Amino acid sequence: MKTVLITGSSSGIGKAAALYFAEKGWHVAATMRNPEKENELQKHTNIKLFALDVTQEESVKQALNLVKQTLGKIDVVVNNAGFGADGVFEAMDDAFIQKQFDTNVFGLMRVTREAIKIMREQKSGIIVQIASVGGRVAFPLYSIYHGTKWAVEGFTESLQYEVKDFNIRLKLVEPGAIKTDFYGRSRAFSKPTYTNAYDSFVQKCEAVSMEAGNKGASAESVAKVIFKAANDYSFKMRYPVAYPANVLLPLKRILPERLFFWAVKQSYKI
């Protein structure tokens, strides 16, 4: 049986992926900050829970080593842990920005680094980074979130050259709008309290974003694409999934920049 380690498995895409891999007969190391609070995943015989906080280097090292000791190997790592920060950039202090990057970028890098150490010795492995359509296309009010996802895309695209000789493959799954806690419990929003200059802009943009989230595809649909990427031993790297990723990414390739920006502004009525 193959083994997959998935970060951020307590909800959303991570939880859906853990269940999907387990149903397909894989050993699943479902990691999260507080595994003692998880009740559903621990009922599955193919799933084992492990504590892992991607913002803590020692936690990452201990978790990956423990998974390897417990399950014997790690064939695939899915870097899913993350959250969405949005709002008016002017209102975001350093701590707000740091938290977003520490989870979405530095946390992913910490896990990737430890995964490479294990997979290099194994001479095989696949690392699946959960990026976003927002890693190649940008929308209003998501400047910091886009900053993290564009970083993940560039980091992964460069890193693939370093690890190819060790038979390690890197994959980027790029979801569009997905109906998860991204738009709810895990969302971090910022707006100035000292001015109302942005109120009209925020109102228009939020309405479009929330509607997209409400109409989004299921986390299970992303889990299926993650599974596909985890079993693809070619050097294909990017896997867009769900609207608007499947529409906007091709459009951005063919439209002049000015026209693409115009289309985004029209969709937000700004």
Residues classed as catalytic:
145
Residue 2 tokens, joined: 């193959």
Distances (CA, A) of 77 to 4, 11, 17, 19, 92: 6, 17, 12, 15, 32
Rounded CA-CA distance 55/23 in Å is 29
Distances (CA, A) of 114 to 56, 120, 168: 13, 10, 13
* Dihedral sign from CA coordinates of 138, 221, 215, 30: negative
Q: Do 234 and 167 touch, CB atoms closer than 8 A? A: no
Rounded CA-CA distance 22/30 in Å is 10
